Structure 1
Amino acid sequence: MTHRIAILSAVLAGALLLSACANTVRGVGRDLGNTVDATGAAVRDVAE
């Protein structure tokens, strides 16, 4: 019984870590998109 609890705990901990990584990757994608937009705006401002 203790072995099953340990396995279940490990699986749940792994699921939580994976969900946290998904949120982080999504956030990095948004940050990169904002950086590209800001860089494009700065280039347009300099070109004018």
Structure 2
Amino acid sequence: MTAKNLARLGAVFAALLVLSACGNTIRGLGRDTANTVDATKDAGHRIARAAN
């Protein structure tokens, strides 16, 4: 392999690593948002039951 090809291969691997990290972050953000919505909804239900 020439140095040019090796550099290209390294750049491709680096790009894949960065993209996979972004995917994990976005997936985690979606889970956190869903958990926040669920917790807020549960708190609202508890407040409504306490008010009755």
- TM (norm. structure 2) is 0.86
Unmatched runs of 5 consecutive residues or more in structure 2: none
What RMSD in Å do the two structures reach over aligned CA positions? Answer: 0.6
- TM (norm. structure 1) is 0.92
Compare CA radii of gyration and give the structure with the larger one.
2
- Runs (4+) of structure 1 exceeding 4 A deviation are none
Cα-to-partner distance string for 1:2-48 (whole Å, 9 max, x where unaligned): 11111110010000110111111111111000000000001111111
Indicate the percent of aligned positions where both proteins have the same amino acid. Answer: 52
Unmatched runs of 5 consecutive residues or more in structure 1: none
